[in-house]
Amino acid sequence: MKKNTLVTISYIFSLFLISCGGNNSNSSSVDSKKTVADTPAAVASYDLSDKGIPTSIEGPAGAKVRKGMSGGEIDGVKTTSLSISKDMFKLEVNMDSEASGRTLEELVTYYKELWQDEKGFEIVKEDANGFIYKTTDDGETNYSFDYIKMNEKGIALEITTGFALSNFTQEDIEKMYQAAQKATWK
């Protein structure tokens, strides 16, 4: 029942995303079954500066860079959100317009606490800037991650798993996490 509800909600959400725009009429809301491991090793560097996030990050050659799902403004603080995606490589890169006042350690702890209530939450790997975790619900396992990179002004990039209609493998997430670790401020 939960799975059917999740699939229905995901389908409706994907229809909503399609209706909200994007200028690529050839894009599809259904994820390819290719995993990151199946994707050719060709890598490209994506400079996100002209889209509002002064960073460069690696991803598969031919990936699409679009507005992400977490953008907006709350109490005068603007969040810029971009997604980089190709097949099952789906990164969401978020940056607030000003420093949060939290340290790197506090932000990583915040994201751990945010996800720890998910069913079957377990941290698989962690370092000072982030962590890979898995969740297990109704026998299905999904992997995800959060990675934080701060600049000298205290502004943080939050790099996390992008939206997908299917579960990520640990190998998918490991490759995206490596891309997040290599991201550089501009």
The reported pLDDT for the residue numbered 76 is 86
State residue 93's pLDDT score.
97
* Residue 55: strand, helix, or coil: strand
Q: Are 93 and 40 in contact (CB under 8 A)?
A: no
Domains of the chain, start order: 31-185 (3.40.1000)
Strands (E), the chain: 43-47, 55-60, 64-67, 72-74, 77-86, 89-96, 122-127, 130-137, 140-150, 156-161, 184-185
pLDDT for 141 equals 96
Per-residue pLDDT of the chain (186 residues; tens, 9 = 90+): 434 333 334 433 443 333 344 444 333 334 444 554 454 569 999 999 999 999 999 999 999 999 998 888 888 889 999 999 999 999 999 999 999 999 999 999 999 999 999 999 999 999 999 999 999 999 999 999 999 999 999 999 999 999 999 999 999 999 999 999 999 999
Closest listed residue to residue 182, CA positions, set 145, 150, 149, 143 = 149
Rounded to two decimals, what is the model's pTM? 0.77
Q: Give the model's pLDDT for residue 74.
A: 87
d(CA 15, CA 180): 29
